[in-house]
Amino acid sequence: MHLDSDHIQRLIDGELAPAEARDARVHVGVCAPCRRLADAAAEDAQAVSGWLTALDDPAPAIRFETIATRAAARRARWTRNAVGWVAAAVIATVAIAAPGSPVRNWMGSAVLRVTGAPRPSAVPAPEPETDGAGIAVDPGPSFVIEIRSHAAGGALVVRWTDDDQVAVRTSRAGAAFTSRRERLTVALERDSVVLEIAIPRSAPRVEIRSGERMLWLGQEGRAAAPAAPGPDGTYRIGIDAP
Amino acid sequence: MERQLVSDSESEDAGGGTPPPIAIARSFRDQVAALFDLHFPRLHRVMNRLSGDTELAADLAQEAFIRLHERGSLPDHPEAWLISVAMNLFRNEYATRNRRRRLLAMVTPAVGEGPADPERRRRVQGVLEGLPERDRQLLVLNAEGYRYRDLAEALGLNEASVGVFLARARRAFRAAYGESVDASG
């Protein structure tokens, strides 16, 4: 049984455990083929090690203090940088989060410039009013909707509906409703209030008036109005203060 | 697991065999300083042989120790760790160095001053650079007396394969060196 190449290499490199090395040396002493391999391997190792010394230069005289000082300086620089970044992050956070800070607008503008998206108006769009009101009543055989306008620029949008009730609603505040038998009074208190009025086709008669003036009349699905309905079938009627 | 070096007193027999040896842990700085004294010349020699540039070798060896110092604790096998770091630094430097050398060769004439046997050095350097990277590293590190375990860890090899790889690398080096001598007449 001969030694394999790895075993021989380990033997000449001193990598075998003491007992293994002893056994290997005994074997090499009595086995000519293994001895030849071991001698050749040792010769290779010695030759290569010798040739490599041709590349050697004296090591520079560097003291450990140099290493320690450079490491400390680098650590200090790293710490300074870290502190700087943290401080910058804190300042940026405060600048963005502070009430009334223009930074958010600047950032938004910058992002929009980069992305090319349309810039939002500097003045925010008014929120839609949600405090409108409405009423629905049974028209009965004859029903009058009386408009009392104390403001300017109001309008009616009248349309037919298949419901059974007259429905009047406004999308914003400024209208007061008073309902009595066969009559609904709508007082417009603010300018430019638009009333949407739905009239049942089945209602025998519904009249919309403003003071003495009749604005619209519907009788069993037929309407009499100062103007023809629009493409969407609604009648748009302006109201002015008396 | 981090390794803690102990002072020399650890290995001394306390006498009587009753109290166990007391491991006196030194400061991390002292441990790195001890490693530096032991291994800096060796690491410099390895990097010098691989790079052929003593200043670069000094920089690489120093940088490896600085990084060990910055690490704050010793790795399991500090020698292998240092080699591995220095090798990686050299690998990064290698392309830059070759580029710089090509540029310098275009503008700088060769100077006469050099090592004692410049011809032999040039030949050894040429043969070494003609070998695969792994063979170069194995030969240089092994010639410096690094253990198979450290070679395997530093170069990412299986320790059981180191002996066979080394044998091949040595044979290849000898053959190439012989060819180089023959070629030069």
> What ipTM score was computed for the predicted complex, to two decimals?
0.71
Average pLDDT, chain A: 84
Q: Is the pLDDT of residue B139 over 90?
A: yes
Contact B33 A68 (CB under 8 A): yes
pTM (predicted TM-score): 0.54
- Maximum CA pair distance of chain A? 138
Contact B66 A74 (CB under 8 A): yes
Q: Give pLDDT, residue B111.
A: 41
Report DSSP letters for B62-80, one per residue. HHHHHHHHHH-S--SSHHH
Of A184, A146, A188, the closest CA to residue A170 belongs to A188
- Nearest CB among B58, B66, B139 relative to A71 is that of B66
Interface test with A, best of B48, B59, B66 (most A CBs within 10 A): B66
Give the pLDDT band of residue B61 (cuts 50, 70, 90): very high
Give the pLDDT band of residue B36 (cuts 50, 70, 90): very high
Q: Give pLDDT, residue B45.
A: 93
Q: Is the pLDDT of residue B142 over 50?
A: yes
Average pLDDT, chain B: 80
Q: Is the pLDDT of residue B4 over 60?
A: no
Name the token pair of B168: 């091949």
Q: Give pLDDT, residue B91.
A: 84
Query: CA-to-CA distance for B57 and B54, rounded, in angstroms?
Result: 5
Contact B157, B146 (CB under 8 A): no
Query: CA-to-CA distance for A175 and A190, rounded, in angstroms?
Result: 7
- Nearest CB among A6, A59, A70 relative to B44 is that of A59
Chain B residue with minimum CA distance to A52: B124
Q: Give pLDDT, residue B102.
A: 59
B32 in contact with chain A, both atoms CB, cutoff 8 A: yes
Share of residues in chain A with pLDDT > 90 (%):
26
Q: Is the pLDDT of residue B110 over 90?
A: no
- Nearest CB among A48, A51, A59 relative to B40 is that of A59
Q: Mean per-residue pLDDT for B33-47?
A: 92
Of B100, B77, B97, B99, the closest CA to residue B89 belongs to B97
Question: Per mean pLDDT, which range of A91-100, A122-131, A188-197 is the poorest?
Answer: A122-131
Set of chain B residues whose Cβ sits within 8 Å of the Cβ of A8: 163, 167
Q: Give pLDDT, residue B185.
A: 65
Q: pLDDT tens across B148-174, in order?
A: 999 999 999 999 999 999 999 999 999
Chain B residue with minimum CA distance to A67: B66
Q: Which residue has the higher pLDDT, A108 or A133?
A: A133
Burial of A34 (0-12, 13-18, 19+ CB in 10 A): buried
